[in-house]
C-alpha cells in the first residue's frame, strides 16, 4: 500500500512537470489574515477574515478573487502565503487535478508562511468551480479562504461549445459566517505542525451571504435585463448549510448543468436546492416584463429548518430592439426575413447562425448573403467575433 | 413462537440474468454500545449476522432476480419493526420472537432495511442497513452514512424523548466508523486501478442531509431512490437525503490518493475535533 502511494506521488510529480512545460496562464494569488476586524457586515459590525487576494496589498474580501480560465488552458497558479501563521493550500474543487496539485496537505503539499509554491493544472471542462484552502478546511473555509473558479469555452457567450447562448451572466457564491469562529482565539490559533487535529466551536452562523454580502448590501447584486435576453446564473455553495432558491416563474428558469458537466436532461423548474460544494448553472429566458426577486433560503442540514432568507431583486424591462443590433460591425437585412438574409460589413470573420436556445446551426463564411428559407419560423442569432444580431425567420 | 410472513412477490421480473436464486439470511436485533472515534460509548442497537452485537449492520448482496429468504430475530426486550424501503415489507416483531420474510428483487438498486417502530427512534439508534441488488460485474464499495449524538442515544435508549427539530449530531460515520478508521474498512474504502469501473453503493440511514464530494474524479449517478430523473448526471458532489440510496459509478483516469468527504465541513469533525468525521480517501493504482 505504501509503495503504491509513493509510486503514484512520483507519477504525479512527473505529470506536473510535463504540464509545466506548456503553460498558457501564470497567475499569482496571496493568502493573508486580517490583524484586526475590518470586513464590514450588513449591520455595520466588522469581523476578521482569512482569505485570498490577487495583490499583496489588497484587503481580504469574501469570496476571494474569481479565477477565470479558457477551456483547455494550462495554468500555473502561484500561492504566496503571507498569513503570519498557518500553512495554506489551494484545492481546485471539481477540476479533478492530479494528487500533487490537489491542495490536500497530507497528500500533496502545503505552503508555509512566507513561502511561494505553484499549482499546475489544466481546465478541460467549461463550467463553474470553486477553490478553497484544505488545511483544517472546516476552519479555514469558514474563515474566508474560498473563491469561484470559472472555465469558459473558446466561444464567448456560450455555456460550452455547442451549448446555450447567453447575453449576460452572474455568479453567486453563497456562504455563512459565525462571528465566534472569527474571534482572534479561534481564527488565529497557533498552528501546531505535530498534529492535524483541531478543536472547533459549535457552528451557529449569524450572517448569510451571497458573494459575501447580505440584506441591504445585496442591492449591488440586482439583475437587470430585457425581455428575450438570456441570462446565465452560476451558483456555488461553499457554506455548511443548504441553499434553497426560488425563481420567479416569469424567468423561465432552466437548470442546464452541475459541477462542470451538462445535464443529460435539462430541468425546467422554479426551485433549486444547492448543497455544500455543489455548483449549478441556470439559464433564464424571460418572456415578459416584470420586477420581482430571487430568494435564497439557508437551511440546517440536520433539522432541514430554514435559518435565514436573502432576496435579490430582478428587473426585466424593455425588449432587445432590432435597430440597436445594427450599431457597428456587420449588419443583417431584411429582418424579419423569409428567404435570403443579406449581410453587410462581414470582414474576414466567420459568422454563425444559432437558434433561440444557442444551439449552433451553421457557419457563414465571408459571404454577402445566406439562404435561410429552410429554417423553421422563429428567433435566431447571427454571432460574429464581436457582435451578435438577432433575426426573425418568418 | 415464530411467525411466517410471505411478503408480496413481484411477478414482473426485469433484468433477470439467469444467475438468480434464493439467498437465505438471518438477522439478529442485538443491543450494545457504539464506540466513537474518541473512545466514548453510547447505547446502540443493530441488526447482526449472529446473536452477537457489532456496530455495523450487515450488507445483504443479491443478484438481480434473487429471492431473499430472511429470518429476523428480536433478542431485545422491546418490540421492534422490520421494513424494507421501496418494497412491500413491513412487519412487527415482539421481544424474543422471530419473523420470516420472503421477497424477490427484480431490478437493481440499493434498499434500506430498518426498524420503523417509533420512527425515527430505532432507525436513529442504529437499526438500519443496506440490501444491494446488482449484476455483480463491477467492484463495489458500500457506505452506510449516519450521524450520532451520544446524549440523545442515552436519552432515547432510556425511554426519554427528544425534539427532532433540535437535532445536533456530534459524530458522523460511514459504516459506523469515522476518520481515520473509515479507510481500514475494506468494504468502505474505494480502491482500484486506472480504467476500472467502480461502484459505490450509498445509503443515508441518518437524519441529516449529506453532500459527498469526490476529489480527483467525477462520478455518474447510476441509481437514485429519491430522484430517478438524476440518473446519468455526472458530478463531483452528491447530495444524499435521509433514507435515500444511490449508486455512483467512477472510472478513474489517473492514479493517486484522493479524499472523498462530506462537504458540509461541520460533518468532517467528531465531537468538534477536526478531521474526525466523514472523510475517507480513494486509492487508485496505475
Residues of A with CB below 8 A from B269's CB? 138, 200
Asked if the structure places residue A36 within a domain, the reply is yes
| C-alpha dihedral (B171, B172, B175, B179), degrees to nearest 10 | -90
Non-local CB neighbours of B11 within 8 Å, separated by 6+ positions: none
Q: Given this model, what pLDDT does residue A5 score?
A: 56
Q: What pLDDT, on a 0 to 100 scale, did the predictor assign at position B222? A: 97
**CA-CA distance, A313 to A219, in Å (whole number)?**
7
Judge: B264–A1 Cβ closer than 8 Å, yes or no.
no
Which residue is closest to B147 within chain A, CA to CA?
A302
Among A61-65, A189-193, B101-105, the least confident range: A189-193
In a domain, A252, yes or no: yes
- What's the pLDDT score for residue A7? 58
Q: Which residues of chain B have pLDDT under 50?
A: 1-17
B134: how many CB neighbours lie within 10 A of its CB? 20
Residues A133 and A54 in one domain: yes
The residue out of A268, A291, A319 marking a domain boundary is A319
Asked if residue A118 belongs to a domain, the reply is: yes
Q: Chain A closest CA to B211's CA: distance in Å?
A: 6
Of A275, A278, A303, the CB nearest to B166: A303
List of residues 6+ apart from B186 with CB closer than 8 A: none
A169 within a domain of the structure (yes/no):
no
For the stretch B152-208, pLDDT in tens is 999 999 999 999 999 999 999 999 999 999 999 999 999 999 999 999 999 999 999
Q: Are B169 and A302 inside 8 Å of each other by CB? A: yes
**Residue A36 neighbours by CB distance under 10 Å:** 7
Residues in chain B: 286
A305 with A213, same domain: the answer is yes
This prediction has a pTM of 0.85
Q: State whether A255 and A371 are in the same domain.
A: no
Quickly count: other Cβ atoms within 10 Å of residue A206's Cβ: 14
Q: State yes or no: pLDDT of A304 exceeds 80.
A: yes
Q: Which domain holds residue A350?
A: 323-393
The verdict on residue A271 lying in a domain is yes
Over residues A145-165, the pLDDT tens digits come to 999 999 999 988 999 999 999
Radius of gyration of chain B (CA): 19
pLDDT tens for residues B272-281? 999 999 999 9
Determine whether the interchain pair A138/B235 forms a contact, defined as Cβ–Cβ distance below 8 Å. Answer: no
* Residue A327 pLDDT greater than 60, yes or no: no
Q: From A266, A289, A319, give the residue that closes a domain.
A: A319
**H or E segment and range at residue B121:** helix B121-124
In total, the C-beta contacts within 8 angstroms joining chain A to chain B are 155
Same domain, A267 and A255: yes
Q: What is the count of structural domains for chain A? A: 3
**What was the pLDDT predicted at A345?**
72
Q: How many residues does chain A have?
A: 394
More confident residue, B39 or A319: B39
Average pLDDT over residues A286-311: 96
Structural domains for chain B: 2-135 (2.60.40.420), 150-285 (2.60.40.420)
Percent helix / strand / coil, chain B, rounded to 5:
10, 45, 45
pLDDT of A219 over the 50 cut = yes
Same domain, A182 and A293: yes
What is the C-alpha to C-alpha distance for residues A284 and A286, in angstroms, rounded to an integer?
6
Same domain, A115 and A85: yes
Per the model's pLDDT, the better-predicted residue between A357 and A52 turns out to be A52
Instruction: Give the dihedral of Cα atoms A267, A271, A277, A283; nearest 10 deg.
Output: 50
Same domain, A359 and A232: no
Residues A15 and A31 in one domain: yes
Q: Which of B215, B272, B286 sits opposite A104 (nearest CB)?
A: B215
Q: Are residues A206 and A72 in the same domain?
A: no
Decide if A167 is inside a domain: no
Q: Which residues of A touch B275 (CB under 8 A)?
A: 136-138, 196-197
pLDDT of residue A323: 42
Residues A340 and A309 in one domain: no
- Which of B101, B66, B96 lies closest to B83, judged by CA? B101
Mutation for A interface: B193, B194, B255, B285, most A CBs within 10 A: B255
Query: Which residue is it, cell 425546467?
Result: A268
Same domain, A33 and A85: yes
Q: Dihedral of CA B35/B37/B38/B42: which sign?
A: negative
Beta-bridged to residue A280, according to DSSP, are A235, A258
Of A265, A292, A319, at which residue does a domain stop? A319
Task: Decide if B254 and A200 are in contact by the 8 Å CB cutoff.
Answer: no
- The model's pLDDT over A105-145, given as tens digits with 9 standing for 90+, comes to 999 999 999 999 999 999 999 999 999 999 999 999 999 99
Strand order across the A350-355 sheet:
A360-365, A350-355, A378-383, A388-393
A132/A250 same-domain check? no
The set of cell numbers assigned to A193 is 505542525
CA distance B209 to chain A (A): 5
Task: Give the CATH number, domain containing residue A351.
Answer: 2.60.40
Q: Is residue A359 part of a domain?
A: yes
Point out the residue among B167, B258, B263 whose CB comes nearest to the CB of A99.
Answer: B258
What is the CATH number for A20?
Answer: 2.60.40.420
Question: Are A93 and B213 in contact (CB < 8 Å)?
Answer: yes
Structural domain contains residue A81? yes
Amino acid at each position: 500500500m505504501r509503495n503504491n502511494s509513493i509510486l503514484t506521488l512520483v507519477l504525479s510529480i512527473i505529470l506536473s512537470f510535463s504540464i509545466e512545460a506548456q503553460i498558457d496562464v501564470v497567475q499569482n494569488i496571496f493568502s493573508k489574515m486580517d490583524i484586526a476586524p475590518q470586513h464590514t457586515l450588513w449591520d455595520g459590525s466588522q469581523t476578521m477574515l482569512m482569505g485570498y487576494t490577487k495583490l499583496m496589498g489588497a484587503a481580504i474580501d469574501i469570496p476571494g478573487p474569481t479565477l477565470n480560465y479558457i477551456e483547455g488552458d494550462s495554468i500555473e497558479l502561484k500561492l504566496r502565503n503571507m498569513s503570519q501563521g498557518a500553512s495554506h493550500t489551494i484545492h481546485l474543487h471539481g477540476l479533478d487535478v492530479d494528487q500533487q496539485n490537489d491542495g490536500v496537505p497530507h497528500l500533496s503539499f502545503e505552503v508555509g508562511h512566507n513561502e511561494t509554491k505553484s499549482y499546475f493544472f489544466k481546465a478541460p471542462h467549461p463550467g463553474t468551480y470553486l477553490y478553497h484552502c484544505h488545511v483544517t478546511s472546516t476552519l479555514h473555509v469558514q474563515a474566508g479562504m474560498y473563491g469561484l473558479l470559472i472555465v469558459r469555452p473558446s466561444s464567448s457567450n456560450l455555456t460550452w461549445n455547442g451549448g446555450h447562448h447567453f447575453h449576460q451572466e452572474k455568479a453567486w457564491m453563497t456562504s455563512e459566517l459565525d462571528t465566534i469562529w472569527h474571534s482572534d482565539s479561534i481564527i488565529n490559533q497557533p498552528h501546531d505542525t505535530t498534529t492535524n487535529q483541531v478543536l472547533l466551536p459549535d457552528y451557529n452562523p449569524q450572517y448569510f451571504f451571497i458573494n459575501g454580502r447580505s440584506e441591504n448590501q445585496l442591492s449591488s447584486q440586482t439583475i437587470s435585463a430585457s425581455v428575450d435576453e438570456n441570462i446565465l446564473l452560476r451558483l456555488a455553495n461553499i457554506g455548511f448549510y443548504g441553499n434553497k432558491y426560488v425563481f420567479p416563474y416569469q424567468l423561465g428558469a432552466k437548470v442546464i448543468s452541475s459541477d462542470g458537466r451538462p445535464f443529460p436532461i435539462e430541468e425546467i423548474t422554479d426551485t433549486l436546492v444547492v448543497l455544500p460544494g455543489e455548483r449549478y448553472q441556470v439559464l433564464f429566458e424571460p418572456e415578459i416584463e416584470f420586477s420581482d426577486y430571487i430568494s435564497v433560503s439557508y437551511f440546517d442540514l440536520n433539522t432541514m429548518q430554514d435559518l435565514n432568507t436573502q432576496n435579490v431583486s430582478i428587473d426585466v424591462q424593455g425588449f432587445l430592439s432590432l435597430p440597436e443590433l445594427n450599431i457597428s460591425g456587420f449588419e443583417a437585412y431584411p429582418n424579419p426575413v423569409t428567404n435570403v438574409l443579406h449581410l453587410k460589413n462581414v470582414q474576414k470573420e466567420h459568422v454563425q447562425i444559432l437558434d433561440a436556445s444557442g444551439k449552433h446551426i451553421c457557419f457563414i463564411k465571408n459571404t454577402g448573403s445566406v439562404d435561410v428559407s429552410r429554417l423553421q419560423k422563429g428567433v435566431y442569432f447571427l454571432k460574429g467575433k464581436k457582435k451578435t444580431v438577432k433575426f426573425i425567420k418568418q | 413462537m415464530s411467525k411466517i410472513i410471505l411478503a408480496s412477490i413481484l411477478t414482473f421480473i426485469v433484468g433477470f440474468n439467469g444467475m438468480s436464486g434464493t439467498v437465505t439470511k438471518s438477522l439478529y436485533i442485538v443491543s450494545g454500545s457504539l464506540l466513537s472515534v474518541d473512545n466514548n460509548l453510547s447505547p446502540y442497537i443493530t441488526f447482526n449476522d449472529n446473536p452477537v452485537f457489532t456496530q455495523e449492520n450487515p450488507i445483504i448482496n443479491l443478484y438481480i432476480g434473487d429471492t431473499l429468504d430472511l429470518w429476523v430475530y428480536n433478542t431485545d426486550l422491546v418490540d421492534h419493526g422490520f421494513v424494507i424501503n421501496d418494497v412491500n415489507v413491513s412487519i412487527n416483531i415482539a421481544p424474543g420472537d422471530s419473523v420470516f420474510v420472503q421477497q424477490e428483487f427484480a431490478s437493481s438498486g440499493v434498499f434500506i432495511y430498518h426498524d420503523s417502530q417509533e420512527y425515527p427512534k430505532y432507525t436513529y439508534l442504529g437499526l438500519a442497513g443496506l440490501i444491494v441488488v446488482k449484476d455483480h460485474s463491477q467492484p463495489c464499495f458500500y457506505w452506510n452514512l449516519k450521524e450520532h449524538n451520544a446524549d440523545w442515544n442515552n436519552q432515547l435508549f432510556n425511554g426519554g424523548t427528544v425534539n427532532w427539530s433540535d437535532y445536533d449530531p456530534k459524530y458522523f460515520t460511514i459504516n459506523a466508523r469515522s476518520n481515520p478508521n473509515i479507510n481500514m474498512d475494506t468494504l468502505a474504502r474505494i480502491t482500484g486501478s486506472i480504467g476500472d469501473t467502480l461502484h459505490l453503493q450509498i445509503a443515508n440511514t441518518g437524519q441529516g442531509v449529506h453532500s459527498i464530494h469526490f476529489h480527483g474524479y467525477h462520478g455518474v449517478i447510476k441509481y437514485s431512490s429519491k430522484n430517478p430523473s438524476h440518473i446519468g448526471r455526472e458530478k463531483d458532489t452528491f447530495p444524499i437525503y435521509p433514507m435515500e440510496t444511490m449508486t455512483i459509478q467512477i472510472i478513474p483516469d489517473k492514479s493517486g490518493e484522493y479524499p472523498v468527504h462530506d462537504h458540509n465541513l461541520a460533518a468532517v469533525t467528531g465531537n468538534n475535533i477536526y478531521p474526525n468525521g466523514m472523510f475517507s480517501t480513494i486509492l487508485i493504482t496505475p
